[in-house]
A and B are shown apart, each in its own frame.
Chain A
Amino acid sequence: MKRCINAVLVVFIVLMFSSPVWAKGRLVVYCSNEAFACQAVADAFSKKYDVKVQMTRAGSGSTYAKILAEKDKPKGDVWYAGTLDPHSQAGVNNLLESYKSEMLKEVGERFRNPATSKKNHSAGVYAGVLGYSVNMDLLKEKKLPEPKSWADLTKPEYKGLIQLASPQSSGTAYTTLATIVQLWGEEKAFEYLAKLHKNIGQYTKSGSAPGKAAARGETLIGIGFLHDHALQKVNGFPLELVVPAEGTGYEIGGLSIIKGARNMENAKKFIDFMLSKEGQEVPQKVKMFQVPTNINANVPKEAIRLDQVKLIDYDFVKYGTEEMRSKLIDRWAKEIKPLPR
């Protein structure tokens, strides 16, 4: 019996701590993408350059706070993915390293230096189009017409059937808010949001939740980034992805080196890799359908191609500032959220 227990113990310990150790240097990646995409990227880089990659996944807001907290003694080397706004903030607050990668010439014009600071602190590593998806099975069951535009969403027949994340807790929802404001101006935008509010069944916490709810049939329409929804569609759900006819906003995934990174050489290698065709095609292999920013990279057929939809000229500098952000979110929380539904 005792020997048996000992054997079990030894097996446990060996299992727990068995991991390859010896590699040429390290890299600590703070990743704000979905966990599986982070893992895929880390594995690909680690394999190509024989670097031991340590990955910490957290949302972009949390990661920004972490980098801020560690600014005297940085622990991370690079920050991959997540909405651009927190990257911008970090750049403005001098937490990031300027780096002009060789690979930038292969990157689309507007993604080369999108951050507010304009000092090459961050590059765009992917783009994601905002829109909504409709559960076609439910639509058929309810015998409703398919919505095509932002305006359609305020029609009374969709009452209680739309989900949107709360701008107070989700960056996706803030992008939605900013997009509407840029489409019609602030006053008209809030009139629209008040009308939309009547049709909202639930404001979710997380930005990707509405798409998932639509996929499972928990709601008819879910507003969010369409690459999240494309994943659900590929998984076999009856989703129709809609890019609103009036035009829509998009997000840029940031890619930055943290100031004072301890593994600077590898950090630069990582940026080059992630901007290259090879690196940008990694996430789509694990069904992450964001649009690559490298012009040579293959755009997955499930993704929404940027050149085929009507995009607004989203002003990342103006709407990425903290003041604008809290102004719009506070106004939404005060004027729209308490309205009856």
Chain B
Amino acid sequence: MLPSSLNNVSAKTDPGETKPLTILIWIIAGFGAYWFLPWFALEYGLFDATIEEYLASLGWKTRTLTLTVPVFLALFIPIAWSNIPQKRLGWVYTLYTSAGIGLIFFDFIHTQNSMGFSAAVVVMALAAIFAIGISKIGFQRGDSFISGAVVFVIFMVLVFIFYPVTKIFYQVLVSRDGSFAPFQFFRIITSFGVDRVVFNTLFLAISVGATTTLFGLIFALYAVRATTRLRYAVRVLYILPIITPPFVVGMSLILLFGRAGLVNDTLMFLFGNSGFFIPAGAEGIFERSGYIYGFTGIFLAQTLSLTPVSYMLLSGMISTVNPSMEEASLTMRASRWLTLRNVTLPLIRPGIANAFLLGMISSAADFGNPLVLGGEYDVLSTEIYFSIAGAQLDFGKASALGLILLFLSLIVFVIQKKWVGQTSYVTVTGIQTAGNVTPLPKGMQRLFTVFISVWLVLVGALYLSIFLGGFVKQWGADYTLTIAHHRELWMHGVSSGGWPSLKNSLGYSFIAAPFTTMIGVLIAYIITRKQFWGRGFIDFGTVLIFAIPGTVIGVAYILAFNTPPVELTGTAIILIITMAIRAMPVGIRGGMSALSQISTSLEEASLLQRAGSLKTIRSVLLPILRPTIISSMAYSFIRSMTTVSAVIFLATAGTNVATTYILSRVESGDTGVAVAYGSVLIFTMLCFTLLVQVFAGRSRIEKQVKTK
């Protein structure tokens, strides 16, 4: 994979590039933080603390032991300007900083205190010098920027992926009194009803995977091959799953098909007791039914919201099929139907498998729809949630179920990557292919037209019901038009109603988006361009980032960040981090696909002229990557705005976000307000997406969905 020339080139750069000045800058940063920022976490948050509390949390004010920190830092200065040979200096840095970081963590864990901002900055400074140290020893051919990036990424993966996941294992394997209990997991999973929950989840996932793949295929064939005008309508479908929070589809299904929904009401009015078509006194032939709660509802909601994703994937695949192969088949007098069956479909078989597996993962990870529509159909994600937020708080059960869900999705993900992802039947050869796209067989097209029309009407009705639901007094009982819901949300000042949560959502997503894009692209760069010891670690971390379901992240973060040394629950920071982690696949995929299209010769040219990696990335790669970066930033932003599964575990009264606020209103029965807010959210996201498209071009957003 890796061009050997690149390695040779960077080997020629002088491994002593980092000047003592760089070290000094980091030391000063650590110093400043130490004197002015809280060493211990503030109980009530940085912005809510009183002067006394702030002063009391400064390291040098409270504990004499922390006075060693500035001494420790100051010792770097003579080392940096000494005449030790570079390689030995590298060892000194590496060992010295590792000791420092280890001591800081040990102290915090030992004293059961939580780290404050300055401790974080000092650790970061030490980590940076550590990176410089290992680069001096020869890691990454002495390139300190890449060493820093690698250290940074590994650090992130360690703290925010591996550490929380091991906490889940710990919870499962260690009993309450602290002793090792390897059979606890089996006791939990063999206890009442867990097998049924797992079966439910799998059954749902497989059905939804199969159905969305079939429907996606129909849509894709139609969009690419049909000759009707309707195909243009299909092509804009891609936008729906981006802008719609996952549980909103479930909510609108209740509005339409619930026991008191529109369909039941209408049928009741026509055929129920004393209905329109029923003679007075006679029994009605229709009874209200609550079939939407349970499997039917979740299945329908997931099919509706996941089919566009599968469509995007398959339509991309179908448009890469070389028309001349089909033409060859047609020339040999095969019918269009035979051609489709024997030529086109086999060519896109990997795409079909891919769509099926992705549908499965998304269905198993979906949390909002089962929560809203679940009834008694329990799936893993909701069971996990209720073992934490229900009447009895049971971390053991939540962790065990979380592990099962994590393994299920890891297995499916690995199958998808290793088995399906590798085989490519793409028939693009680089040679300009002539030939006309074969249209669909006539009968098939007619059938599809009917199917898709029904689908579009249904989707239209769903979205219309969300929009209208916000403007009627009480859906199902009183259809008087009113703006009371919207007034309650938006007209009572910016500190009540829907404003605080919307503000939080916008603010957190706004901070998370650039952060996650930066790290995502960095990871993509390291994975596609660099080869070194420890890369497998990053690879595995990336796989986890992709496969880990939101509910599992939620549980893991509660377990990991609720106690010293890193105590983050209840803060805005944990929500921002969660959003960043949840959106990171966007950045990584965007970066990887863009980087794989850029020839390494450009970078080699830059490196040959003795520009460092930082300079090369800044002046060669970034300008080329800019469109990708902008679009993944926008898409991360949107994703953070609509995410719910992980943040619902972590949002508190003060850090409520839009989606959790809506769900809490659903919970307390205020469907009108919930739907009103939902429609505003969808509308905001729609405007934002369209705006981004104007700037970044539509195809990019489309590509992001395709790779979702």
Contact = CB atoms under 8 A, between A and B. Distances in A.
Interface in A201-229: 201-203, 205-208, 212, 215-219
Nearest to B656: A35
Contacts of B572: 16
Interface in B326-348: none
A332 B570 CA distance: 36
B293 interface: yes
B285 interface: no
Contacts of B375: 202
Interface string B552-568: 00000000001000000
A293 B305 CA distance: 49
B664 A218 contact: no
From DSSP, what is the main secondary structure of chain A's interface residues? mixed
A253 B44 CA distance: 27
A72 B389 CA distance: 23
Q: How large is the interface on B (under 10, 10 to 19, 20 to 34, 35 or more residues)?
A: 35 or more
A38 B290 contact: no
A236 B112 CA distance: 52
Interface stretch (A54-62, A178-186, A244-252): A54-62
A106 interface: no
Contact of A237 (B374, B392, B474): B474
A54 B43 CA distance: 11
A217 B668 contact: no
Interface stretch (A17-25, A109-117, A268-276, A300-308): A17-25
Given A16-B507, A61-B392, A218 B290 contact: yes
Given A21-B50, A218-B258, A73 B112 contact: yes
A12 B506 contact: yes
Interface string B390-405: 1111000000000000
B413 to A, nearest CB: 29
A60 B478 CA distance: 35
Interface in B224-259: 258-259
A121 interface: no
B121 to A, nearest CB: 19
A324 interface: no
Interface stretch (A94-102, A137-145, A190-198): A137-145
B668 A57 contact: no
From DSSP, what is the main secondary structure of chain B's interface residues? loop
Interface string B495-514: 00000000110110010000
A207 B290 CA distance: 19
A219 B393 contact: no
A170 to B, nearest CB: 5
Nearest to B670: A235
B192 interface: yes
A212 B669 contact: yes
A202 B494 CA distance: 39
Nearest to A237: B477
Nearest to B664: A35
A149 interface: no
A169 B378 CA distance: 13
Given A52-B48, A236-B474, A216 B503 contact: no
By Cβ-Cβ distance, the 10 closest A-B pairs, closest first, are A217-B260, A212-B669, A65-B393, A169-B390, A62-B393, A16-B507, A218-B259, A61-B391, A17-B47, A61-B392
Given A61-B391, A64-B393, 17 more contacts: A16-B507, A35-B653, A54-B48, A56-B653, A57-B653, A65-B393, A69-B562, A141-B268, A141-B273, A143-B273, A169-B392, A170-B391, A202-B293, A205-B390, A206-B390, A216-B669, A235-B474
Interface of A: 12-13, 15-17, 19, 21-22, 26, 34-36, 38-39, 52, 54-62, 64-66, 69, 72-73, 75, 137-138, 141-143, 168-171, 174, 201-203, 205-208, 212, 215-219, 232, 235-238, 333
